[in-house]
Chains A and B, each alone.
Chain A
Amino acid sequence: MSAVVSKIREPLITGGKSYHDITEDLCSPTESVPNATWIFAFVASVGLLTVGLFCIFWTIWFGIGAWNLNRTIGWGWDITNFVWWIGIGHAGTLISAILLLFRQKWRTGVNRAAEAMTIFAVMCAGLFPALHTGRPWFDFFMFPYPNSRGPLWVNFNSPLLWDLFAISTYFTVSLLFWYTGLVPDFATVRDRATGLRKKIYNFLSFGWTGSAKHWQRWEYLSLVLAGLATPLVLSVHTIVSFDFATSVIPGWHTTIFPPYFVAGAVFSGFAMVLTLMIMTRKILSLEDYITIEHIESMNKVILCTGSIVGVAYLTELFVAWYSGYVYEQFAFYNRAAGIYWWSYFGMMACNVISPQIFWIKKFRRNIFITFFMSIFINIGMWFERFVIIATTLARDYLPSSWSYYYPTWVEMGIYIGTFGLFFVLFLLFTRVAPVVAIAEVKSILKTGGDQYVGKNATHAHHHAASHDHGHDSHDDHHAH
């Protein structure tokens, strides 16, 4: 089969790789002894995780009073962090599912790592509501099952319960999707390994052989799962937004929340993918697979979603004025000029204003600026959730219950701990599984490799209008 690739497209795999080179490059991290950077990062992450575990233990031992929540501020850092992590967990499925449906080929370079990141981020997120219940050993009460308490059922009308369903479904489906993609790549690792490693990877690869019929079903499965995961990923942050928007609290009850939360989640998710991938490509020498082209594409998504979020911020602000509803107007006045003005400022500066530099191509293709911006955006998106949650709750309808919320060291420690958990898992993942999807990269080699497309292509066949469509004056690359 031939595929036509426009001459204007940039290559997605550089270095003139052959299929075998791809296997070598992408399998080698799982086969070598970790280098010093990895070990140092791993030890540091375990250290952070230990801090987190200690604070979790502290919370369980002394109760939720170890946090600075009070009667009006029922949600503080816990839910802020929960929404932040869940948001980060959106990029993986977006990249693998939505970009698969939209046939954006650049996704193959980053989808594997982004999906892994999704799964780890959702794990970090789930920790917060689980602890926030106060008695985590009773968390199974949240699931509807016939019980001896009445039978007293959970409240199916509550957005908090919808959230439980959404997040557990999202976690399960993301895991299945990710693992199904990994199976053929585990087989590749298996066939290069010997002894015990071969046994382990055969176990992990489920006995994959690469038979044509299996590939056919595998592609079907990937496509249908992508089709299912696309509305699913929209639904997750939509339902998170319902947690706020179904209420009658000014600043929370606004109909734009669902799509605006989703855009924000994609925004922060891509920022985290960039943070991780810029480090990973450097440490594992994957510059030929995660090219500047990939980074630029992701920066465009960031610019787009950042602007959508900006439109939503301004819409909210405008409609608060337009509504003629004093409480709504106060809520937004309070965000911008109240006690937490700095977090509103941080949110606007990091999320809306600073990403606008990506209008300039030079900045989109600059790794240092991209890395810096990706961290900036993650901070900004954390502020966004803090603005929505803490600012609003600290200035309730009733001025006598107004207070100023700040976290205790326990709350901070748990947040730090989730970074530990996240990085421990991610670092282990880079040693165990190929960080870039081997089979998928191979399947785009002939439409994305720099020996086939782009300015320096050597294998390109001159395409002499084998089809008659009038004036075919541009020679497209016909890669065979």
Chain B
Amino acid sequence: MNNQFTFEGKQRTTLIGFIILGAICLGLSFLDNTVPYHMRFWSNFLHNTVFFTGISFISLFVLAAFTTAYGGWYVVMKRVWEAYSQFLIVGLLLMLVIIAGVWGHFHHLYHWAADGITDPNSPAYDPILAGKAGFLNKYWYTFGTIGFIGMWYFVFAVPMRRISVAEDTEGTTDFEHHERYRKFSAFFLPIAAFSSAAMIWQWVMSIDSHWYSTMFAWYSTASWFVSALALTIMTIIWLKSKGYYEQVTDEHIHDLGKLLFAFSVFWTYLWFSQFMLIWYANIGEETIYFKERVTNYPVLWYGNLVMNFVLPFLILMRNSTKRKYGTLILCCLLTFFGHWWDFFMMIKPGAKINADHAYHAAHSAGGDHGHAAHGVQGFVSGFTLPGFLEIGIFLGFLALFLYVVLGQLAKASLVPKNDPYLGESLHHHV
């Protein structure tokens, strides 16, 4: 049984090819200035960085949660999630670009980062954002991003991976490695809960800088989780097709499918709660967020629900579909792309408004700046819907993610040989 993954040259070449394709598309999107300030480029960059960094983060979170809950069944494939978590450092490097942009005013992703926003004498003064300046400022953004992703990676992801790999060779029947791994897991959970919320508010929620929702962090975390599950299922099935992971049986896949189903429903629950409460109370400052999306982005809006709830719900409801690789992969593709699409919808409308506002402010000195942006708008490629460039960039980032992940997978046995729960996992029955 082959437990040692080899990252073949051909696979490397293919992935590098896709990374180059993504880079080219990213470059081309920089040239598209339909929405001013190269917003198409910057919003794409942020969107994909946040999406894949989030998947990496949530994989670590899942490992920590399952370990703390004495889970046994998943152990045989836990190396996949460990490998995912190692992408965090790349996510941090990518975020540095956005941070540089915040400092150098290269982009207008964040209205709060504009000059004079907190200065009552400036024409750009915004009293609401001035009130939020204690949190929405470039220092916090920089410190939070580097500090938190750095902590996730250096304090948790790297040591946990190291312990897990060391267990393969040094593991004893005292399960000393496992106990240490468990301690890291338990500490990671509360820290991750706070820090991820703080970061998702800064990275994504603050694009619509006036808007706020207490649910937002949990909602987007659920979105990450479903994406990570979908990608995991696809990776494992791919590895199986290459002759690895014979130990991962239909029983494991079935359970992953159940999780995909359950958390798609959970995501929908959070989606509904957030939307319904804001719709019901109908407070202008809050409803504007959804009003903008339902009116100007109807395909994104309804597509989101169809891809992430209706179809996976109907397909995965039956037990048999969770065991048929074909239908399961179809669902994984749907939800993986669907949650990428969800983040697209979280980021793009606000980013476009920010760019339009800044442009109006700069070209009509004062006055009623940018209210036209809230009216019904025409089709703008890369904003109203993902264009070809967006798909190319998505594939590029995905290839980068997989390149890192497969590189990590090749570094250790696919099966954690000495994990105390391995026996249970190998004999797992639904």
Contacts and interface: CB of A to CB of B under 8 A. Distances in A.
A307 B193 contact: yes
A368 to B, nearest CB: 23
Interface stretch (A394-402, A426-434, A462-470): A462-470
A91 interface: no
A6 B135 CA distance: 47
A315 B193 CA distance: 11
| Chain B interface helix/strand/loop/mixed | helix
B421 interface: yes
B88 to A, nearest CB: 21
B115 interface: no
Interface string A7-28: 1110000000000000000000
A473 interface: yes
Given A8-B421, A246-B280, A463-B423, A311 B197 contact: yes
A470 B277 contact: no
Contact of A7 (B173, B214, B216, B269): B173
Interface stretch (A113-121, A210-218, A247-255, A270-278): A247-255
A291 to B, nearest CB: 15
Interface stretch (B34-42, B144-152, B412-420): B412-420
A323 B171 CA distance: 51
B424 A476 contact: yes
Interface in A216-263: 231, 234, 238, 242, 245-248, 253-259
Nearest to A323: B212
Nearest to A319: B214
**Interface size of B as a range:** 35 or more
A325 B421 CA distance: 51
B423 A316 contact: no
Contact of A307 (B190, B212, B217, B277): B190
Nearest to B426: A469
A468 B423 contact: no
B274 A255 contact: yes
A253 B283 contact: yes
A473 B1 contact: no
B11 interface: no
Nearest to B278: A255
Contacts of A248: 281, 283
Contact of A242 (B72, B277, B421): B277
A138 to B, nearest CB: 27
A311 B194 contact: yes
Interface in A287-307: 300, 304, 307
Contacts of B201: 322
Contacts, number: 129
Contacts of B132: 322, 324
Nearest to B130: A324
B5 to A, nearest CB: 14
A127 interface: no
B421 A471 contact: no
Contact of A471 (B69, B194, B418): B418
B423 A474 contact: yes
A336 B413 CA distance: 53
Contact of B215 (A242, A247, A255): A255
Interface in B293-340: none
Interface in B191-225: 193-194, 197, 201, 210, 212-218
Q: Which of B210, B281, B417 has the most CB of A within 10 A?
A: B281
Contacts of A379: none
Nearest to A3: B427
Contacts of B135: 322
B254 interface: no
Nearest to B421: A6
Contacts of A468: 1
Interface of B: 1, 3, 68-70, 72-73, 127-128, 131-132, 135, 171, 173, 175, 178, 186, 189-190, 193-194, 197, 201, 210, 212-218, 247, 262, 265, 269-270, 273-274, 276-278, 280-281, 283, 285, 413, 415, 417-418, 420-424, 426-427
Given A104-B69, A258-B269, A473-B417, 15 more contacts: A3-B427, A5-B424, A6-B72, A6-B423, A103-B73, A104-B70, A253-B277, A253-B283, A255-B213, A255-B216, A257-B214, A258-B273, A311-B193, A463-B423, A467-B427
16 contacts: A3-B427, A4-B427, A5-B424, A104-B69, A246-B280, A253-B283, A255-B213, A255-B216, A255-B277, A258-B215, A258-B273, A311-B190, A324-B127, A463-B423, A469-B426, A473-B173
The 8 closest A-B pairs by CB, nearest first: A476-B423, A256-B214, A255-B215, A4-B427, A258-B273, A8-B420, A324-B131, A246-B280
